[in-house]
């Protein structure tokens, strides 16, 4: 007697098709869905890392625009923070600049 492996075969197929839910056209076909899901998972992996890069860029842009209004450049502001040994990362600084402008102006005053 041979082992046909039916239930696990269907389970494997259904797992791929479930991941392909929302895909359009022939991507719902198992053979094509398998490739599309593999690509989607690779893109998701890469984009989880890209998201971190994009957020850092966003914080830098936000800080740069707020700091420039007080007559400093972004790079001189970051350099001055390091010289004064103020240890706040860009995420925290951008949040303070956005939500607490008075506090951020005091940080700028301390740095100048």
pLDDT tens column, 23-43: 999 999 999 999 999 999 999
CATH number of 6-111: 1.10.1900.20
**Global model pTM greater than 0.85:** no
Extract long-range pairs of 78-84: CB within 8 Å, 24+ residues apart. 80/111, 80/112, 81/111, 84/110, 84/111
pLDDT value for 78: 96
Q: Does an H or E element contain 54, and which?
A: helix 30-69
At residue 57 the predicted structure's pLDDT band, cuts being 50, 70 and 90, is: very high
63 pLDDT tier (thresholds 50, 70, 90): very high
Q: What pLDDT does 75 receive?
A: 95
Mean pLDDT, the chain, as a whole number? 94
């Amino acid at each position: 007697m041979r082992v046909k492996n039916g239930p696990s075969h269907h389970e494997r197929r259904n797992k791929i098709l479930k991941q392909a839910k929302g895909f359009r056209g022939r991507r719902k076909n198992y053979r094509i869905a398998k490739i599309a899901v593999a690509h989607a998972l690779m893109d998701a992996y890469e984009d989880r890392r890209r998201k971190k890069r994009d957020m850092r860029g966003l914080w830098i842009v936000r800080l740069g625009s707020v700091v420039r209004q007080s007559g400093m450049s972004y790079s001189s502001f970051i350099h001055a923070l390091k010289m004064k040994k103020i240890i706040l990362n860009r995420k925290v600084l951008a949040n303070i600049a956005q939500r607490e402008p008075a506090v951020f102006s005091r940080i700028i005053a301390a740095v100048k």
